Structure 1
Amino acid sequence: MGTMGINHRVGMPYPGHPLANSVLPSVGTGSFQNEQNSHFTSMMRSSMGGPGPWGLDIGSNVEGRYTSSLLDEFKTNKTRPFELSDIADHVVDFSTDQYGSRFIQQKLEAAPEEEKAKIFPEIIPHARTLMTDVFGNYVIQKFFEHGTESQRAQLASQLTGHVLRLSLQMYGCRVIQKALEVVHVDQQTQMVAELDGSVMKCVHDQNGNHVIQKCIECVPQDRIEFIISSFYGQVVALSTHPYGCRVIQRVLEHCEDANTQQIIMGEVMQHVCNLALDQYGNYVIQHVIEHGKPHERSAIISKLAGQIVRMSQQKFASNVVEKCLTFGGPEERQLLVNEMLGSTDENEPLQAMMKDPFGNYVVQKVLETCNDQSLELILSRIKVHLNTLKKYTYGKHIVSRIEKLITTGERRIGLSNSVSS
């Protein structure tokens, strides 16, 4: 996944960034530290008609929640070493506990098949309930990851008829994503088929969008054509949506079919400026500039040309201009720099940008990316305005950057003179 995290203005990772998934449900085992167990455990007990064979030795804790004495011992007796076989008849109880769940996960990673076989029969009858549990979902994910082929197949069969419901649920969506990563293509196909008719509902959902992204990443395109085709004609609307913009980025990354790329990119290219100005659309444009084909990047830069100064003074589009400077070719970069310098010796556009809360970052990026010849020219233009800039909050950023560059530049000149003499 491409990281487009220029976030000095946005204040949070961009929606396609791996860190963004720390706000919304993510895949993987993650940290339990801040996850609070709900009333699930007691609810599950009652839904199963009281203690089952997995809770033979039952007591009640101060919260009035049933818990097995074995789990109590596991959490209090630090001297006794526990193995998976030791928790037979208590597996569900452990799975729905923060520390018990973590114990099972760690053991599953290296457990021999006979150990897994001892606890798996207890998991299967309660698999769907565990999938939506705050701690149980991680145990199911680990079985998908480290279980035997047979265990994986049995768990996948538990998903049948429930894929959409689980995809829209906070913890269930993680299980669906993990399953899509590990099951065979035929099972993938069977799973994604259950989303047909609900693609847009999933894309717009804080949990479901992760499942759609995973479908695009892991399932062959010929099996998810109904997903991809539902985006045609909707690319701009999706790109300006907090979850939709992630999905469009995944399509651009993973769908290599020429027709798909042409349709999606065609819709993007018709609205480059509007998308660049949008709080979510800017990430799609950044993605194309960083990861797209050179001719696509050039087309975007040519559409932005003439508006670079205005764009640089805008919260979201300024990120796009920085990406153009970072990934554009030398000629494209020069085109942008010339536009910022303006047509007179006063360099009004550059002056305005240096004083701007967003534009000043773009000027700093110019100083980072331009060639020596341009750098010398820009420094000479900026030096004239240094004292004035010191009066402006954002101008001060430029002043400190320029003073460092001047010092290193003079040092470089001094070194070259001493070498030549």
Structure 2
Amino acid sequence: MNDIALRSRTEQLIALEALYGAKNYKPLDVVLTRGEGVYVWDVDGRRYLDCLSAYSAVNQGHCHPKILEAMVEQAGRLTLTSRAFRNDQLAPFYEELCALTHSTKVLPMNSGAEAVESALKVARKWGYEVKGVPADQAEIIVAADNFHGRTVAIVGFSTDPGSRSGFGPFAPGFKVVPYGDARALEAAITPNTVAFLVEPIQGEAGVIIPPAGYLKAARELCTRHNVILILDEIQTGLGRTGKLLAEEHEGIEADLTLIGKALSGGFYPVSAVLSNSEVMGVLHPGEHGSTFGGNPLACAVARAALKVLVEEGMIDNAARIGARLQASLAAIDAPRVKEVRGRGLMLAVELHPDAGGARRVCEGLQARGLLAKETHDHTIRIAPPLILTADQADWIVEQFAAALQ
């Protein structure tokens, strides 16, 4: 008899995944089959509180009924036309998204990486056609320890060896400066600089929050030197930090703002580049596009996802419950913990390097019915859906207190 057939259902599925799948992920050994609200269930029927939210793609909670209803209804009417034709969901999506974010132009795409790539193309084209940078000399400044996606161009300006090594040669035209250092940014700007691309909070790096005033200083420098400020809000946006967009914490507006993940509430790949007429106006028909970008199913889902985010008070809840959760985690008496940091419901617990590693703590949390994920060996990210209640937040703290002991 086949050895795999003798195992439990969980073991069978893990074995089949190892046998047939590319080994580019190292997930926890839990096999999920259902989700509702802040909870998910594995194939053996055990319930877990999800503290990752699919890297903030499920801000509205798993399988939100109103988003599901919009998806099912639209899927029965029209799913895809390509942008060769118009559809009746795209214009309302544009209108509602611009009204919510105070933008004037939207470029719809699918994944976060596509939004980043689109912004890089727009910035370069703006540099040549508006700023007057000599052909093929455009420079874009990025921050060290960034994470903007997995395409060849993007990993080319990553400083993470795991993301970058073995994938060259890379596209030129990028400069790396320390994150949170406005003086280093100013020193790197030249007449050929067209954009500065940065995360308001670095998620993959371990929820790294820059010094107060950094984003405001970056905005002022970009304005003074005629440089486009691109904020990657794919993780931080749409309520995660307790504001609709994280840029609001410092009262600034980017020239290009990138959103994705929670733009669909986890139902469908949807992303967007938000901008103004001057910058986005450099694109003309045939110069950029996507077969699926702006499709009616994506637009209908995104419209519903945005509506419930606002109407159900999820953004304010993220600010209120996030502050409670952060304070309670920081109060845990655990010598292994180096720091608790975050904003809203985008939090991290960093362990001392000699504390045995964050993976072991995540496995201990899994055994207690809580799913979280380590990043960079010593940090545990905590990003539950924005519908988290006070009682659920307190339960999370109890599990961390036990696992950290």
Shorter-chain TM-score bucket reads under 0.3
Based on CA coordinates, which of the two structures has the bigger radius of gyration? 1
Q: TM-score of the superposition, structure 2-length normalised?
A: 0.25
The structure in which a higher percent of residues are helix is 1
Of Structure 1 and Structure 2, the greater strand share is in: 2
